Amino acid sequence: MFSYRHAFHAGNHADVLKHAILVQILDYFNQKDAPYWVIDTHAGAGLYALNGEWAGQSGEVTEGLDRVLGQPQPPLLVERYLRAVQDFNPDGMANLYPGSPCLALHAMRPQDRLRLFELHPTEGQVLEDTLRRQVKASPRQVAVARSDGFTGLNRLLPPPPRRGLIVIDPSYEDKHDYRSVMQALRSGLQRFAQGCFIVWYPLIQRVQAHEMVRSMEHLPGAPWLNASLTVHKPSADGLGMHGSGIFVVNPPWTLEAELRTALPWLKTALAQDDQARFNLSTSQDPRPTKFGPGSSTDRPGKPHPGSSRASGKGPQKRSPSRK
């Protein structure tokens, strides 16, 4: 069994990008009354204590959510996400961070359904307890499978209402995850060609990660959008994650325009050094660039003055009164 626990990473820069896009897509789905399903193949524990021991140990939230909360005039994509996070913190303290299952449930209407997979025994138990006790999810609406999300996904496709969002968010702790993502995506699209699929991926110096993104860009047929955010320069030793990306198959038509405004803002807010940058590419735009069929990118940006790395400070201990 793998050791990855999302509590160490909750609210980091990768969660900000992933969850802001997730909330945007759910908002788009809600514009029609017709029911939909959300299937989350790698659910995690659901809800995370940002003032808890694990989040405090890593300090990653100080380079993610905390920076975004401190910025004026967030664009719509970020504002919607912050509102959702704040709804889990009615006391205004932002000490609880909702993961993808909780953000999905928060957006869903009674007619919608949530199907979750979580393989880690402890995370699966915490997820079930959280949904039952804290979130008070209706068992009619939500089901948790403590099994492999890559293989379990096929059994649920296509979802009965033929409207659905599939979130594929592995930890990539297992190097086979890159191949499993491609297999899940290919067979998922065969069963449910009109489904919206979101894949999270790390920006790391590893050939499998680059190959997976290239393969996704060459999936036949379906339109796609690829948004990534580099927050600092790749490390000299080749280790660690310098950013993350979200690949969306069958994206809502509104997502690209929102990201064009949000990505420059996020880059400024989350930059840890002058190598921060974003990239946005889609299958629709014929402009050929080295980033894919159609893309916009920017030059490396200046770190935000509040950046702890820019100012030479290490991660700050979480303040209980932070808002």
Per-residue burial over 282-316, b = 16 or more CB atoms within 10 Å of its CB, e = otherwise? bbeeeeeeebbbbbbeeeebebbeebbebeeeebe
Q: How far is the CB of 170 from ligand SAM (least distance, A)?
A: 6
Q: How far is the CB of 5 from ligand SAM (least distance, A)?
A: 7
| CB nearer to ligand SAM: pick between 4 and 88 | 4
Phi then psi for residue 275, to 5 deg, are: -100, 5
Rounded-to-integer distance, Cα 95 and Cα 276, Å: 27
Q: How far is the CB of 104 from ligand SAM (least distance, A)?
A: 10
By CB under 6 A, name the binding residues for ligand SAM: 4, 6, 18, 40-44, 99-100, 117-120, 123, 148-150, 169-171
Helices and strands: H and E segment counts in the chain: 10, 11
Instruction: Please provide the DSSP assignment of 113-172 as one string.
Output: EEEEE--SHHHHHHHHHIIIIIS---TTTEEEE-S-HHHHHHHH-S-TTS-EEEEE----
| CB nearer to ligand SAM: pick between 61 and 294 | 61
Query: Is there a catalytic annotation at residue 169?
Result: yes
Shortest-Cβ-distance residue relative to ligand SAM: 99
Contact 280, 296 (CB under 8 A): yes
| CB nearer to ligand SAM: pick between 266 and 277 | 266
| CB nearer to ligand SAM: pick between 100 and 307 | 100
The residue from 27, 40, 169, 177 that is catalytic is: 169
Q: How far is the CB of 163 from ligand SAM (least distance, A)?
A: 21
Which residues are designated catalytic?
169
